Amino acid sequence: MKNTALSGEANVMNMKRRTFLRGTVAAGAVGVAAGTGLLTPRMVLAAWPKAAFDAKTVDAAVSALLGSSSLTGSDQIQIKAPDIAENGAVVPVSVTTDISGVESISLLVEKNAAPLTSNFKLGKGTEGYVSTRIKMGKTSSVIAVVKADGKLYSHGKEVKVTIGGCGG
């Protein structure tokens, strides 16, 4: 992969992971771009939870999105994701849950600059299952937060990101 040479510098640059992920750019080029100032969408959906997507920690993101950050660990949530992801730009993740009355499933990556990747609001007849592909900057825990009957449940799975074979 073309980004093999990036690893050392990228670490120094405190992992500007989007740069890293795409592998299209010299590491560190992004600098201070992580700020939200650059994200100036012409049209912001009223419903789109900007604060949650901008949040820098899992707790803050979950609070902003779901109104509370008190998560109950649950073994009724299964996360299907690779143990080792070769390419952090495309990590397939599926979440299945047996919890009844699921209202939403959120997917977070603990060590991404902005942990919240996606939030799925389920309709009434929709089962507790979603599958998608997300970006990961580095080895991290992938956390699924399930909201059911007003309560929050969570489960995490560690995914190693190797990126072009420079080790995880």
Partner 1 sequence: MSSIKMRAKLDGGVTTVKALISHPMDTGLVKDKKTDKLIPAHFIQEVTVTHKGTTVMTAEWGGAVSKNPYLSFRFKGGSAGDTLKLSWVDNQGKSDSSEGQIK
Q: Which residues bind partner 1 (CB under 8 A)?
A: 16, 18-19, 22, 24-26, 29-30, 33-34, 38-39, 41-45, 47-49, 53, 89-92, 94, 109, 112-114, 116-127, 129-135
Measured from the CB of residue 114, what is the shortest distance to partner 1 in angstroms?
A: 6
Measured from the CB of residue 24, what is the shortest distance to partner 1 in angstroms?
A: 6
- Between the two ends of the chain, the Cα-to-Cα distance in Å is 15
Q: How far apart (Å, rounded) are the C-alpha atoms in residues 98 and 104?
A: 13
Cβ–Cβ under 8 Å, residues 76 and 84: no
What Å distances lie between residue 127 and 100, 106, 122, 153, CA to CA?
A: 9, 14, 8, 16
Instruction: Using the minimum distance from each CB to partner 1, give the nearer residue, 109 or 146.
Output: 109
Instruction: Using the minimum distance from each CB to partner 1, give the nearer residue, 53 or 153.
Output: 53
Considering only CA atoms, which of 18, 25, 35 is closest in space to residue 2?
A: 25
Instruction: Using the minimum distance from each CB to partner 1, give the nearer residue, 111 or 151.
Output: 111
Measured from the CB of residue 125, what is the shortest distance to partner 1 in angstroms?
A: 4
State whether residue 135 is helix, strand or coil. coil
Measured from the CB of residue 54, what is the shortest distance to partner 1 in angstroms?
A: 9
Instruction: Using the minimum distance from each CB to partner 1, give the nearer residue, 26 or 84.
Output: 26
